[in-house]
């Protein structure tokens, strides 16, 4: 056997693809899939919300949020909050929901609507409100969220999509934190239109119960003051800027012809 | 304020993209240069066959001297290739990034093995082994080491 050396020019061991082409192709496919999943999730969430009855929601929330029970207290303040909420909710036609109002001791300036008809008002906000009309606006705003089923939407898409990217890339990778950041931004835009809708709902309730909407303006002023106090304020990440909300409110109240003072 | 927040969030992505771009350009240049060097040296070393046969080929060949020769090389991925491999991991298919990595490491190791004894007539019983180097980060292999070893044979003239 004679050995005759031969130089092999073509490299069979490496797949001949151009890396940039491959990169954009795969990336495009991935983004395309995520977009499709996002929108179909959105449709699925809307359908699910439509079919979720009040009884089911109550049952779900009692398993998901067991810890709220200990926050319930029967101080004079929380009793009066409950009373205001009940009176307001009576103004809502077709209202199958029953509500609990919890006054939390946190000094945060916030109020949230949690599944199951739970409204949590934080002391930080409660103590800054100056009139019954104003706190009624806050409660009415949360009632608006329940009526529009916003509290369920917030959980829907963002959480599932974050979960998807976390599974694919690992929870601590920069891609999944990026996707959760991006989603938070998109969900924020959603939240902002939901918030304005809740504001207008609260204004309607105020008028039906009290005959005027002074509390709405008092609260908006409170928020503008709050915004000036602190600059990086978590409240404003999910709520639109107070000025924008004020504009939307003023326009709606003007259109409806609600009195702005008692 | 909102714009600043969004910008802040995108800083992560921007850094990722910058690193990937840097990795792509530097990685491509280095790889092309390495392959040029490999091809040149392989041409020079054509006269030394490196075979995985255990014995010298024919009985007429008398062995004068034999030595263990060994060559190793460690090659690293660049950041762009890492991302590409990560994408491949989702969809499947051959990972060109790793393929070229291992190919370069193997051939470089064989060349260095031959360079250990450039006067040899042949190198028999060669074995090539590859290992991943560095922790298995979430993006997979960081760098790879290849070792080629064999017996360098000097024949009686």
Residues of B in contact with A185 (CB under 8 A): 6, 9
> Closest Cα partner for A261 from A201, A218, A199?
A218
**B29-41, pLDDT tens digit by residue?**
999 999 999 999 9
Taking residues A26-53, report their average pLDDT: 81
d(C-alpha B37, C-alpha B43), whole Å: 10
Residue B8 or residue A15, greater confidence: A15
Angstrom distance (rounded) from CA B112 to CA B127:
13
Taking the C-alpha atoms of residue A180 and residue A166, their distance in angstroms, rounded to an integer, is 9
Q: What is the pLDDT of residues A175-228, one digit of tens each?
A: 556 656 655 555 555 577 788 888 888 888 888 888 878 888 888 888 777 776
Whole-number pLDDT of residue B9: 67
Interface contacts (A, B; CB < 8 Å): 71
Higher pLDDT, A224 or A160: A224
B90 vs chain A: nearest CA distance in angstroms?
7
Q: Chain B: nearest CA to A13, how far in angstroms? A: 7
pLDDT at B56 over 70: yes
Position with higher pLDDT, A70 vs A246: A246
Would you say B99 and B107 are in contact if contact means Cβ atoms under 8 Å apart? no
Tokens (6 digits) for A200:
């207008």
Cβ contact, residue pair B9, A173, below 8 Å: no
pLDDT of residue B1: 45
Angle at A145 between CA A135 and CA A237, to 5 degrees: 85
Set of chain B residues whose Cβ sits within 8 Å of the Cβ of A231: 1
Distances in whole angstroms, Cα of residue A107 to Cα of each of A104, A111, A129, A142: 8, 11, 13, 19
> Mean of the per-residue pLDDT values for chain B?
87
Closest Cβ opposite residue B13 in set A13, A14, A178 = A178
Q: Answer for the pair B67, B118: CB distance below 8 angstroms, yes or no.
A: no
Lowest-confidence range among A80-84, B44-48, B124-128?
A80-84
Q: Give the closest of A30, A185, A232 to B90, CB-based.
A: A30
Predicted local confidence at residue B150, as pLDDT: 95
**Cα–Cα–Cα angle for A206, A211, A217, rounded to 5 degrees:** 55
Of A210, A194, A203, give the one whose Cα is nearest residue A246.
A203
Most trustworthy range by pLDDT among A126-135, A164-173, B70-79: B70-79
Average pLDDT over every residue of B55-62: 78
Cα dist from A161 to A36, A60, A171, A178, A179, whole Å: 11, 21, 12, 12, 8
pLDDT digits (tens, 9 = 90+) for A42-91: 787 777 777 777 777 766 666 655 555 555 555 677 778 888 888 888 87
pLDDT band at A172 (very low <50, low <70, confident <90, very high): low
| Interface touch A23/B87, C-beta < 8 Å | yes
Report pLDDT digits (tens) over A119-140: 888 887 888 887 888 888 888 8
Beta-carbon separation of B12 and A178 below 8 A: yes
Of B12, B57, B102, the CB nearest to A174: B12
For residue A60, what pLDDT is reported?
66
* pLDDT tier, B129 (very low <50, low <70, confident <90, very high otherwise): very high
Query: What is the residue whose two structure tokens read 């010298």?
Result: B56
Percent of chain B with pLDDT over 70: 90
Q: Each residue of A144-156: pLDDT tens digit?
A: 888 887 776 766 6
Long-range contacts of the stretch B127-135 (C-beta < 8 A, 24+): B127/B52, B130/B102, B130/B105, B130/B106, B133/B74
Residues of chain B with a CB closer than 8 angstroms to some CB in chain A: 1, 5-6, 9, 12-13, 16, 24, 28, 39, 42-43, 46-47, 49, 57-58, 80-81, 83-84, 86-88, 90-91, 94, 96-97, 99-100, 102-103, 122, 138
Q: Decide which of B33 and A247 is more confident.
A: B33
pLDDT per position as a tens digit, A3-18: 777 877 788 888 888 8
Cβ-contact A233, A226 below 8 angstroms:
yes
Q: Choosing among A2, A10, A22, which should be mutated to test the B contact, i.e. which has the most B CBs within 10 A?
A: A22
- Per DSSP, A239 falls in state S
Ranges A211-220, B4-13, B93-102, B109-118, most confident: B109-118
pLDDT band for position A254 (50/70/90)?
Answer: confident
Residue B114's pLDDT is 95
What pTM does this model have?
0.63
- Chain B residues with beta carbon closer than 8 angstroms to that of A19: 24, 28, 80-81, 84, 96-97
């Amino acid at each position: 056997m004679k050995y005759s050396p031969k130089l092999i020019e073509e490299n069979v061991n490496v797949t001949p693809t151009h890396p940039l082409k491959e990169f954009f192709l795969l990336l495009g496919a991935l983004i395309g899939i995520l977009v499709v999943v996002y929108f179909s999730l959105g449709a699925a969430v809307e359908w699910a919300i439509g079919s979720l009855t009040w009884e089911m929601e109550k049952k779900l929330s009692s398993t998901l949020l067991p810890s709220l029970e200990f926050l319930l207290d029967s101080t004079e303040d929380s009793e009066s909050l409950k009373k205001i909420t009940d009176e307001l909710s009576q103004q809502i036609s077709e209202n199958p929901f029953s509500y609990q109002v919890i006054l939390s001791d946190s000094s945060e300036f916030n109020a949230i609507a949690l599944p199951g008809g739970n409204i949590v008002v934080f002391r930080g906000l409660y103590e800054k409100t100056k009139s019954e009309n104003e706190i009624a606006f806050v409660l009415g705003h949360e009632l608006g969220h329940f009526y529009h089923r916003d509290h369920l939407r917030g959980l829907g898409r963002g959480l599932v999509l974050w979960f998807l990217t976390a599974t694919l890339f690992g929870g601590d990778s920069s891609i999944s934190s990026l996707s959760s950041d991006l989603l938070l931004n998109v969900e924020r835009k959603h939240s902002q239109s939901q918030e304005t809708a809740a504001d207008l709902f609260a204004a309607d309730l105020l008028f039906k119960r009290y005959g005027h909407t002074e509390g709405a303006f008092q609260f908006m002023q409170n928020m503008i003051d709050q915004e000036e106090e602190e600059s990086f304020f978590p409240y404003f990440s999910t709520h639109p800027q107070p000025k924008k909300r004020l504009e939307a409110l003023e326009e709606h109240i003007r259109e409806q012809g609600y009195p702005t003072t008692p | 304020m909102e714009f600043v927040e969004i910008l802040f969030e995108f800083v992560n992505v921007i850094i990722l993209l910058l690193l990937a771009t840097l990795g792509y350009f530097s990685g491509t240049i280095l790889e092309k240069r390495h392959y040029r060097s490999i091809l040149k040296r392989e041409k020079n070393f054509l006269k030394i066959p490196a075979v995985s046969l255990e014995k010298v080929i024919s009985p007429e060949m008398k062995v004068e001297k034999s030595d263990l020769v060994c060559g190793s090389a460690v090659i690293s991925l660049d950041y762009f290739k890492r991302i590409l491999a990560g994408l491949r991991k989702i969809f499947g298919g051959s990972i060109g990034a790793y393929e070229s990595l291992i190919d370069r490491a193997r051939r470089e190791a064989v060349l260095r093995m031959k360079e250990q004894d450039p006067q040899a007539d042949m190198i028999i019983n060669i074995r090539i082994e590859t290992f991943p180097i560095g922790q298995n980060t979430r993006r997979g292999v960081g760098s790879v080491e290849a070792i080629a070893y064999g017996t360098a044979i000097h024949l009686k003239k």
